[in-house]
Amino acid sequence: MKDYPKIRKLMERGNGMLGSQCAILGGAMTWISESNLVSAMSNAGMFGILASGAMNADALGSEIALTQEKTKNNFGVNIILLNPQLQNLVDVCGERKVSHVILAGGIPDKGIIDRIHSYGMQALSFAPALSIAQRLFKHGIDALILEGNEAGGHVGPLSTMVLIQNVLLNMTGYPIFVAGGLLRGEMIAALLQLGAIGCQLGTVFACCSESIAHRAFKQALLRASGRTAVTPVQLDKRFPITPVRAIENNGTDGFIAKQREILSKFESGEMALDNGRLSLEHFWAGSLRRAVLDGDVEHGSLMAGQIVEVIKEERSVTAIVETILAEAEAFLEHSSPKDGDYRKNGSIL
């Protein structure tokens, strides 16, 4: 990695916490963030994160061991709070001396944060609002990731821009990473100037050379425009859906048809409410795997963020990181006010 002194200075705190050279988290992506990609990220100086998805403790233990064979650098493990083996998964991370656990898919309670700490690991999680961010820090979370609705995969309701103003700017000094819709180094540098300690990127790494995603999956993302990366419409409040941002295809169309079918069966008395909800939840099961590993880009789930608008070629992890750092450095060289007070000079954003 070349030396970029200005951005390195802004990343000092994030790097100190992660043990990395570049405070960029490689956002965990189920089926994609496995040992090859994660070790490539950590070897490139950033911080890779393994996705445990629906894995059990044994499978996660093997994937961690495989990643540790490929990199000596720190990497994290992303655990979905709904996983029935949650505690066992945390224990496996602790036993295998993982440095950081990232809790996703809900708001973690103090018990699970304490369990992570009992192994000497650091705990990170997501916060969709200011009050939740404040509560999580009170419960001992080591850092938060603010992820806006532009991101790929499961998303919350608010955009990155709103979360920055509501959470980041109101929690000066707290360790916060920003995610959702990021790629350019200039943008990342500006967020660090506003107080973020680093950023998390996902979609761009789904399409990189080290990603094991099927060629057809990568091509579909590289060809897509941002406006086709959508969250599905919910047809009826009684049947709530989990918003997942993905590229439109037959699968997303089929989901609307499925909701219509369930609604009509429910209204005619043919199907109970709970069965209808369950059947909706099961609709997407396995469909990310189908797109990522089998290359079924027509019916599988093409999870991706709006940033596909800007991602146009497959590049290596190192090339992506170097470009971000060079863009950030150039931006800082031309925009950093000498006294460091961006408000007085009014140059940012």
Ligand X SMILES: Cc1cc2nc3c(=O)[nH]c(=O)nc-3n(C[C@H](O)[C@H](O)[C@H](O)COP(=O)(O)O)c2cc1C
251 binds ligand X (CB under 6 A): no
Residues 6+ apart with CB under 8 A from 141: 108, 113, 123, 124, 125
Applying CB under 6 A, which of residues 163, 179, 188, 325 lies at the interface with ligand X?
A: 179
x/- site string to ligand X, residues 45 to 84, per CB under 6 A? ------x-x------------------------x------
Nearer to ligand X, 25 or 262 (CB): 25
- Provide the 3-class DSSP secondary structure of residue 143: strand
Shortest Å distance, C-beta 172 to ligand X: 23
Residues 6+ apart with CB under 8 A from 54: 30, 80, 83
Applying CB under 6 A, which of residues 44, 151, 320, 332 lies at the interface with ligand X?
A: 151
201 binds ligand X (CB under 6 A): yes
Q: What is the largest CA-CA distance in the chain?
A: 70
* Residue 35: both structure tokens together: 């040992």
Residues in a beta bridge with 104: 80
**How many positions of this chain bind ligand X (CB under 6 A)?**
27
Among the listed ranges 6-14, 26-34, 84-92, 260-268, the one in contact with ligand X (CB under 6 A) is 26-34
Among the listed ranges 256-264, 267-275, 297-305, 331-339, the one in contact with ligand X (CB under 6 A) is 297-305
DSSP state of 226: G
Residues 6+ apart with CB under 8 A from 274: none
DSSP state of 191: H
Residue facing ligand X at closest CB distance? 202
Applying CB under 6 A, which of residues 23, 28, 164, 208 lies at the interface with ligand X?
A: 28
Residues in the chain: 349
Whole-angstrom Cα distance, residue 210 to residue 208?
Answer: 6
The one-letter amino acid at 193:
Q
Q: Interface residues with ligand X (CB under 6 A)?
A: 27-30, 32, 51, 53, 78, 104, 147, 150-153, 179-182, 200-203, 206, 303-305, 307
